[in-house]
Amino acid sequence: PAAARPAAGATSEAGRDTAVAVHVIRTATLDVEVASVPKAVAAARATAEGAGGLVSEETTERLDGTHETSHLVLRVPQERYEGVLDELAGSGNLLTRTSAAKDVTGQVVDVESRIATQRASVARVRELMDKAGRLSDVVALEGELSSRQADLESLLAQQASLKDRTSLATITLELSEPYADGADPGDEDTGFLDALGGGWDAFVTTLRWITVAVGATAPFLAAVAVLLVLGRLLRRRLPRRRTPDRPSAPGAQAPPAP
């Protein structure tokens, strides 16, 4: 009985080892306001590389000659994902933070199964080619082999993509500097001249739409006018019906002659 306990424990460990591994795609987006974008970019790069990851994309631009922003896409190992995310979020004033996790375990298992089946199918076609004696059979089998190899390569590409996305998490980092006066110029009052310019633009746009409407209806208005003119001309040319003389009243006599 004493020897049976380790056996039970060993069975439990073996069951855990044979369990299907969970495959998850993790993504996150951070929007952080920092004092210096160049320094924050360098720090983010060092954080990603220190965790065994990399910066896969970087775009930095300067707005209004003073305001600088940067867009970074970081790829970090799944096991370091949470730590890197917290460190990046604490690098400045965090404006927004979103994250998502998608379980693709079923998809990974399905692709692996289809790859095994497709490899066996390719092997069978190769065996048939080795046994084929006629040229026509060889040509037909070569076409079938090419088709099955293409399907296998497509499955292998899917497997590689899944492996990349499940082994490395993706973090999109947006960095921006605060404006010198603490206010976004886009939020400022437009002023009288800007308001006047906006009103003039609206007036011109209205006139433009009226012109388009008149231009669109002009052919129909012209046709209606022509029909009206023709109708009047025809009415003038048609002979008028004479009104018959009214009969005199019964018993009426002509007045006596003087």
**Residues 87 and 142 grouped into a single domain:** no
What pLDDT, on the 0 to 100 scale, is given for residue 26? 97
What pLDDT, on the 0 to 100 scale, is given for residue 27? 97
Q: Strand order of the sheet with strand 24-33?
A: 54-63, 67-77, 168-176, 24-33, 93-103
Distances (CA, A) of 208 to 39, 106, 202, 214, 253: 51, 58, 10, 10, 77
Q: Does residue 245 lie within any of the structural domains?
A: no
What pLDDT, on the 0 to 100 scale, is given for residue 77? 97
Q: What is the mean pLDDT of each run of 10 residues along the chain (258 residues)?
A: 44 50 95 95 96 95 84 96 95 95 95 95 90 83 91 96 96 90 53 68 84 78 80 73 53 50
> CA 60, CA 157: separation in Å to the nearest integer?
32
**Residues 80 and 130 grouped into a single domain:** no
Q: Does residue 81 lie within any of the structural domains?
A: yes
**Residues 62 and 35 grouped into a single domain:** yes
Q: Does residue 149 lie within any of the structural domains?
A: yes
Domain count, the chain: 3
Q: Does residue 238 lie within any of the structural domains?
A: no
**Residues 94 and 115 grouped into a single domain:** no
**Residues 64 and 94 grouped into a single domain:** yes
> pTM for the full model?
0.59
Determine the structural domain holding residue 207 and report its residue range.
Answer: 194-225
Q: Does residue 146 lie within any of the structural domains?
A: yes
What pLDDT, on the 0 to 100 scale, is given for residue 239? 63
176, 210, 235 - which closes a domain: 176
Sign (positive or negative) of CA dihedral 151, 153, 156, 160: negative
Q: Does residue 39 lie within any of the structural domains?
A: yes
Q: Does residue 62 lie within any of the structural domains?
A: yes
What pLDDT, on the 0 to 100 scale, is given for residue 19? 59
**Residues 26 and 100 grouped into a single domain:** yes
Q: Does residue 251 lie within any of the structural domains?
A: no
What pLDDT, on the 0 to 100 scale, is given for residue 230? 80
**Residues 100 and 26 grouped into a single domain:** yes
